[in-house]
Structure 1
Amino acid sequence: MHEYGDLIRIQDRQQAAEDPHPDSGPIFEAVQRLSSDFGPNKPRATFFPGSVLSHSRLVRQFFEITKSGNPDAILLTDLDRFESFDNHRAEYSLVPVINISGSPTHLADADLVPDDPQSWRDAAAIIRRFRTRREMLPATFRTAATPAIRMLAYLFVSGKDLTPVRVPQSRYFFAYQGFQNTRATITLAEALADAGMLRRSFVDRHSACPNCQSHRLVVREECPACRSANLSQAAFLHHFSCAHIGPESDFRQGSALICPKCLKQLRHYGKDYDRPGDALVCRKCAGTTTEPAVGFQCQDCDAHIDGDLIKTVDIHAYSLTDHFLSRLSGKSSAGVRPASGSINRLPPKLREQIGRFVGKTGSSRRGFVAKLDYASRHDIARTKGDDAFQALRQMFKDRLQGLLADTAHVHSSTDGDYVYFHSLTPEEFKDSSEQILAECDSVLSVPLRPKFEITWVGSGEETGG
């Protein structure tokens, strides 16, 4: 540790004469004020990669540079050397990455530009936000022992959604802010969304190579016969007497038009011939068409895919569900994680609905709540798109509400679909539940394979379905 500090001090002395940011002036004073605002808790930072490179003394004026301990930020110094960034990020998943490399990157939570005062203010605000929200996390999530916990905790302390950003260098043509491995990030986020911890939001739809999964595809018009993209547009002539239709270039002989089929000269437009329009001519096989095929060429594996065989992939952003956000912030049950079966586990609007029903009827029997789970959700969203699943889900809910009539109410929230059975007990419902679900599922073009899980009972009992 002493050796590391000595290297920094030596470098400071070497740079002092030529440092573009002297120990005075508006920028230096602004950075000094921001640093003093933190009081005795000056932000601690570690460099990544760990080598000591040429950094502005402004950075070391603002941060306390450390090689160990609990930093408040990771300072990203070199974008060409972050092969092990995921491992480093896993170790410090609850602190922001501040990019000081001079080149923008999706891996960072903020880009720090030494000459820009607003850049310093933004970095300071992000560090404060991470600090504040990190303290709100329950102890289970502060340790961040698994990738799932790390992702959930990071989304909470960052105060941001998991959002795709355009990255042309990526084979997927996008990446997620703050994460290096796009495929692993999607797999984990989808699993958390299926578990009701994250909420999906549609962003875009990409075509994907079925061979290597790359999204970097060139779409092009092709000859339907040989699939060549070497097409040219040509004006066509129609010779009335022999009914031959072909490119004008086939008829042209000098200044005259001679039919290549019957060798007669075409003299009068409208009497000997007409122009039916343009068509595409393939320079490879000489075929002609007015309806070219659509094809895709993968830029990563060079595979060719016919347009009707290409698959599409929906790109989503992910955000913490209301329930899980409350759990992470420690706001549910006065900062204590609710026990299984507690009404506080239910979405706020559903709790309000239960309260209104009890207040209106004066009934001490408050029924029970069952949550719907759709076993086919992931498969349908993957093969047909999330819009298809949402349409099937809505049809199912409408049918279910119709069958239950006045005995229950179907409630939807960001956490999922719930049914509040205000006039039945779990025992009364148990005998008919499978029949009701099967009847609702049978009218759908693609089965959702629904099942109920009883999550709350009015008497306070804990039960599961």
Structure 2
Amino acid sequence: MEQYKIFADQTLRDLPDPWVFVDTIPNDSNLDAIVCFEGDQHVPHSLVSASVSPLICIIYVGQNPPAWCDIHVDASAGQDLLAKLSEAADFVQQTRKLNPPKFKEEQDRLHILGLLSTRHTRLAPVADANLKTMFYYPRLYWLENTQAALESLVRNNLLSVSLQQKTFHCAQCSSARLIARETCSKCGSVDIQEDSLIHHFACGTQQAKSAFRDGAELICPKCNKQLRHFGVDYDQPSVIVKCKACDEISDDVSVNFLCGDCGESMASDGAVVKEWYQYDITSAGKSTASLGILPQRRMQELLESFDKWKPRLSFSLILDFYLGIVDRYARNLNVLCMKVGHSSQQVFMSDDASVETQRYQDFVIDLLVETLRGTDFLTSIESEIFIALPETDDQGADKAIERFKTKIENYTKSEKGVSIRKLSRKEVEDLIKRCSSNV
């Protein structure tokens, strides 16, 4: 019989099937949910130390739920918790449908996709003044380098983004706890005061309003005449700033930042700007979460099984050899850069998107097999496939590009199925260097 294991630091009674209470976290980390109670703000840290899967369902019982929980129960009454277990069961069932990550180095990124896929939610930055960064993604508590993982998933079209916040960070210690200050543009003092500039029509003098003050009256400091009527005797063309420290008068102030953590002072344009995004999982991301392997990795494995595949160093050496032949004997050589996207219709309209993704990748490999000739060879760097076509002129390369595009677009029913182009001579030379240094 199927069982869902649930852990809490308090005994839970009368749990409905298939929920089973355990009083210790299993050594194999085979746990489906955890219940934490009000006041316990250290649950994420204990889960990391216990090596529990980040996809575990976290249920919080009490007021003011923390941002890292999945389900909130208002009170500790048994019926309230029992009512929420059906929602937790849905998360557990969805999580169990995911294939476990195949490669350790991909676990973090696949867990992000798995979390968004099974919770049917999005990832938004949450403000916390106690953090130097000011914003963070609380449900990604297990990640050390959150930004790198998210950026990688965006580059591979597994997450989409929308800008939510911008923060300014100290160039010295990276803290976002900065105090904005207006200072004197000459001496840097904060002891400044705004004042109105008065223009006396009769004698032409222009000075700060404070210089005209004589009790409740305005007396010109140059000609000693009283200014009675605005617009007749005088006007106020602008606002000025006077520094009490150095008596500097100007029509503008400097704005700078003072770091609340390290005390560093910097000009406003000297702070580092950081952008915070909201992340939504794409159809490709859902398929990847189900597969348990990043598309780039699986495509790499398929390419490496192809007899035209060359490791990057070998590719660069052979390509450099052919480039020498081109220069010496005026022979033909073309190099293509292909970036395979995802099907927008056929692949992800399927009920089993992970299977369709595999079929799509297999189709691309089959297309390469039937299109490339005996002397052609290829390699890949990240999501780009580089295809070298010795003894192929520009017309032949154009025909190959058209064949690739037509076949893939017919399969995907989308013009976004593939991006492919010819590299210039400079780009080929840069590719050789890139392959040589990126072994």
User: How does the TM-score come out when normalised to structure 2?
Assistant: 0.60
The 10-residue stretch of structure 1 (237-246 or 302-311) with the greater mean CA deviation from structure 2: 237-246
- The reply to whether residue 163 of structure 1 matches residue 152 of structure 2 is no
Please name the residue that 2:351 is paired with.
Answer: none
Within the alignment, does 1:100 sit opposite 2:67 as a pair? no
Secondary structure of 1:137's match? coil
> What's the counterpart of residue 316 of structure 2?
none
| Counterpart selection for 2:172 from 211, 232, 256 | 211
Number of the residue aligned with 2:34: 74
Percent pairwise identity: 19
Change (3 A) 1:241 1:139: closer
CA distance in 1, matches of 2:280, 2:217: 70
Q: Which runs of 5+ in 2 are unaligned?
A: 307-339, 348-366, 373-377, 385-397, 433-439
Taking a change above 3 Å as real, the CA distance of residues 227 and 176 of structure 1, as seen in their structure-2 partners, is same
2:258 to 297, 303, 313: 297
Q: 1:44 to 1:320 in 2, by over 3 A?
A: same
1:340 aligns to 2:335 (yes or no): no
Match for residue 317 of structure 1? Answer: 278
Q: Quick check: 201-210 or 115-124, which moved more?
A: 115-124
In 2, the alpha carbon distance for the partners of 1:408 and 1:305 equals: 52
Which residue identity lines up with residue 76 of structure 1 in the other structure?
C
Q: 1:172 to 1:88 in 2, by over 3 A?
A: same
Q: 2:149 aligned with 1:188, yes or no? A: yes
Shift of 1:120: 4.1
Distance in 1 (alpha carbons) for counterparts of 2:162 and 2:380: 21
Relative to structure 1, is the Cα distance of residues 120 and 436 closer, same or farther in structure 2, using a 3 angstrom cutoff? farther
Structure 1: any 5+ residue segments left out of the alignment?
Answer: 1-39, 353-362, 376-400, 422-431, 440-448, 452-465
**2:302 is matched by which residue type in structure 1?**
S
Which of 225, 236, 239 lines up with 1:265 in the alignment?
225
Distance in 2 (CA, whole Å) between partners of 1:408 and 1:42 is 49
Query: Is 1:349 matched up with 2:349?
Result: no
3-state secondary structure, aligned to 2:288: helix
Does residue 285 of the first structure (1) align with residue 274 of the second (2)?
no
Q: CA RMSD in A?
A: 4.8
Distance 1:407 1:238, change over 3 A: same
Residue in structure 1 matching 2:423, options 406, 410, 434? 434
Asked if structure 2 preserves the Cα contact closer than 8 Å seen for 1:371 and 1:418, the reply is: no
User: Is 1:202 paired with 2:168?
Assistant: no
Counterpart residue identity of residue 322, structure 1: S
Distance (Å, rounded) in 2 between the aligned partners of 1:122 and 1:216: 42
Residues 191 and 217 of structure 1, relative CA distance in 2, 3 Å threshold: same
* Aligned counterpart for 2:289 among listed residues 318, 328, 335: 328
Aligned residue type for 1:179: L
**Cα distance between partner residues in 2 of 1:282 and 1:119:** 63
Secondary structure in structure 1 of the residue aligned to 2:139: coil
- Residues 98 and 292 in structure 2, CA contact (< 8 A), matched pair in contact too: no
How many residues of Structure 1 are paired with residues of Structure 2 in the alignment? 341
Residue 227 of structure 1 deviates from its aligned partner by 3.5
Among candidates 202, 211, 215, match of residue 250 of structure 1: 211
Give the equivalent residue in structure 2 for 1:380: none
Range with greater deviation from structure 2 (224-233 or 205-214): 224-233
2:45 is matched with 84
- Could you tell me which amino acid in structure 2 is paired with residue 266 of structure 1? Q
Taking a change above 3 Å as real, the CA distance of residues 113 and 83 of structure 1, as seen in their structure-2 partners, is closer
Tell me the distance in 2 between the aligned counterparts of 1:406 and 1:142: 34
Measured after TM superposition, the shift of residue 211 of structure 1 is: 2.0
Aligned residue in 2 for 1:396: none
Q: Distance in 2 between matches of 1:144 and 1:274?
A: 70
Find the aligned partners of 2:250 and 2:198 in 1 and give their Cα distance.
Answer: 14
> Which range moves more in the overlay, 77-86 or 104-113?
77-86
Deviations 1:67-108 (A, max 9, x none): 133322122334454583362474232211122254421221
1: distance between equivalents of 2:239 and 2:106? Answer: 65
The separation in 2 between residues aligned to 1:119 and 1:229, in whole angstroms, is 56
- C-alpha contact (below 8 Å) 2:156/2:383 kept by paired residues: no
Contact 1:281 1:287 in 2 (8 A): yes
The alpha carbon displacement at 1:405 in A equals: 8.9
Distance 1:126 1:229 in 2: 56
Structure 1 residues 129 and 199: alpha-carbon distance in aligned structure 2, compared to 1, 3 A threshold? same
The code of the aligned residue for 1:111 comes to: H
The one-character-per-residue Cα deviations of 1:408-442 (angstroms, maximum 9, x if unpaired) are 5798x9xx976466xxxxxxxxxx83218959xxx
Partner of 2:198: 237
Cα distance in structure 1, aligned partners of 2:116 and 2:205: 68
C-alpha distance 123-167 of structure 1, shift in aligned 2 (>3 A) = farther
Letter in 1 for 2:422: S
Task: Deviation per CA, 1:238-269: give whole Å up to 9, x if none.
Answer: 23455432222222123443333x36233454
How far apart in 1 are the matches of 2:119 and 2:381?
A: 31
The AA in structure 2 aligned to 1:209 is C
Q: Sort the Cα spacing of 1:114 and 1:294 in 2 relative to 1 into closer, same or farther, 3 A.
A: same
Correspondence list, 1:35-46, <5 A: 43-46=4-7
Partners in 1 of 2:110 and 2:292 — Cα distance?
A: 18
Q: What do residues 255-302 of structure 1 show as CA deviations (whole Å, max 9, x unaligned)? A: 443333x36233454565433243333344333333333323333333
